[in-house]
Chain A
Amino acid sequence: MKRDGSLAVQPVSVAARPRRPLFAPARLGIYAFLLTAALFFLVPLYVMLATSLKPMAEIRLGGIFALPLAPTIEPWRTAWQAACTGLECEGIRGGFWNSVKITVPSVLLSIALGAVNGYALSFWRPRGAEVLFAVLMAGAFVPGQVLLYPLVRALASVELYSSLPGIVIVHVIFGMPMMTLLFRNYYAALPQELFKAARIDGGGFWRIFFALMLPMSVPVIAVAAIMQVTNIWNDFLLGLVFAGSDNLPMTVQLNNIINTTTGERLYNVNMAATLLTSLVPLALYFLSGRWFVRGIASGAVKG
């Protein structure tokens, strides 16, 4: 036998089978399906854009899928500053700033509380906290309507109903289960030894939180921020009930513009307003990419 292990005699060889074809029909079918689905998902976006850039004359002619022949940004301008949201005709810009006023403090507060809750639950585990957490999580499934009237009465009794602080509190309440779960799962995945070492070094509750845990929480804070900004900005029901007519968020204003007009419906303005309302969450989505999906996957896994 030779050193490399081969024999001197060649084995019997049968004709080699041909290679597999590159473009099997199954693969074409898959691409066809995916492309059709992509079309289904993209057409509404296109329609929104195209309609918002057409003058009303073009729209009345029909042809919802046609490209704008004489594109104009008038509808956008009207939507922003002149559309009628009920009695006033100041456009949707008021709603935009309201949404900002509502979203920023709500997001900050709910993330802060979620982080502290998650931190306390995974590392300190005071007695009875797990039970409380279970109640919180069960609360996440409760339909909002059940909580509405009592919350209205509770806020009214401290004169916070129909006010900015009121809506912020409500958003924090409704967001707490998800935020707490997110942070708790994240901290539970961190090594316990880190925490124990910090305690041996003499750290107390808040010291360890601010010096050690918070700096390590950047990924989960990013995910939490994306989720909360999207959820709160897109909220309709809570804004409708709790914000008060001075602070109506963009989604509520949008619905007012479109569904409470008299006279001819200005479809181009409507679509421009819809796009303006969706701008912030869509931009966030397109910029954040993988973080958005991570938010869905981690926050969505309920226990």
Chain B
Amino acid sequence: MANVSIRNLQVRLGANRVIESLDLDVAAGEFIVLLGPSGCGKSTLLHSIAGLNDAAGGSIHIGGRDMTWADPKDRGIALVFQSYALYPTMNVEANMSFGLRIGGTPKAEIARRVARAAEMLQLGPLLKRKPAELSGGQRQRVAIGRAIVREAGVFLFDEPLSNLDAKLRTELRRELKRLHARLGATMIYVTHDQVEAMTLADRMAVMQGGAIRQFDTPDAVYRAPENLFVATFLGSPGMNLFPGRLDTGGAAAGGAWFLNDQLTLDVSRYPFRQPPVHGQSVVLGVRPEDVDAGSAGTPGSYRAPVTLVEAMGAHRVLWHDFHGCEVAAIVPDDRAGGAFTLRPERISLFDEATKQRL
């Protein structure tokens, strides 16, 4: 179990600066998820931690030791690849033990580790099979098994579930969570899938353009996104956004209102970090589940005809047309909708220019 500490990391692929001055601290035993769209640099960061990319600057410490220039095999890490990367001509047992045999680990120790990994992942009946004779989920378990036998301090996962079908993905996701609880190892997991990120992470880092935009617990990232990118990236359907401005004049000291041409909201109780500036251009964000949809005529609601209804089984999504903007609301029952209200305690405000949370 080792912690990971990255300072001012710079990574270049060819002539491109993919990552610039990135800092990250992962405590021992934590399950960290790197989440972001394609090309945001999350896989590059993972490969840099593993030592497969050379760092152009900065430092990487694993378990308190400087590993910036260490070979991948000396870093005390294990990596599970998206395509499993199993040695095709060796059977499962050989795949798991090959690295250990080359490294000179005694046979008894190898056998013990393989048996332990096989028991954890139910690989017992598959030990003599070759990868070509296994299904996708079984292959992924073998890849994880190969990582476990290394008894590494840090486990790295590079989108390991992307090549599996949806049902298998949810199954293995839960197994991974249980595995983490059982092993207690530090795990860094890369994915573009929000559901995986939210369910697996102790903390998650949302990345964009080679930088971490927010690094916090899933709850915090979801409820209090730090900037517009994080706000719109998470959540399905995405956060409803209303551009407008702040009005602090004419109200009691400390009071504030959000206005635009279509709606007005009292945001006095919003936890501003700096005192609100009158006239500041802001964007108001509300998640669909925090939009109360009701029938037209409810006092304080805004009228908006429903243009589309998506039935999701457990809930429904009502899409409203609000003066040309689309507003989504999640409702638990059959109501027809036609108007909506916003809950001021569940909103986020962002400065329009800096895109940062107010």
- Could you tell me which A residues sit within 8 Å of B by CB distance? 3-7, 11-19
Contact = CB atoms under 8 A, between A and B. Distances in A.
B215 A5 contact: yes
Contacts of A19: 69
Contacts of B59: 13, 16
Interface string B58-95: 01010011101110000000000000000000000000
The dominant DSSP class at the B interface is: strand
A246 to B, nearest CB: 56
Nearest to B74: A17
Given A11-B5, A13-B59, A13-B61, A4 B66 contact: no
Contact of A5 (B68, B70, B212): B212
A17 B212 contact: no
Contacts of B69: 16-19
Interface residues of B, number: 21
B25 interface: yes
B212 A11 contact: no
B189 to A, nearest CB: 15
Nearest to B4: A11
B205 interface: yes
A14 B65 contact: yes
B160 to A, nearest CB: 23
A19 B56 CA distance: 11
A15 B66 CA distance: 7
Contacts of A15: 66
B70 A4 contact: no
A7 B66 CA distance: 17
A4 B68 contact: no
A4 B23 contact: yes
B181 to A, nearest CB: 23
A5 B205 contact: yes
Nearest to A20: B69
20 contacts: A3-B214, A4-B23, A4-B215, A5-B24, A5-B215, A6-B23, A6-B25, A7-B5, A7-B25, A11-B61, A11-B64, A12-B61, A12-B64, A12-B65, A13-B61, A13-B66, A15-B66, A16-B69, A17-B66, A19-B69
Given A4-B215, A5-B205, A19-B69, 8 more contacts: A3-B215, A4-B212, A5-B25, A6-B24, A11-B64, A16-B69, A17-B66, A17-B70
A18 to B, nearest CB: 7
Nearest to B27: A7
Contacts of A12: 61, 64-65
Given A5-B25, A6-B23, A16 B66 contact: yes
A6 B212 CA distance: 11
B196 interface: no
Contact of B23 (A5, A16, A17): A5
A15 B226 CA distance: 36
A15 B24 CA distance: 20
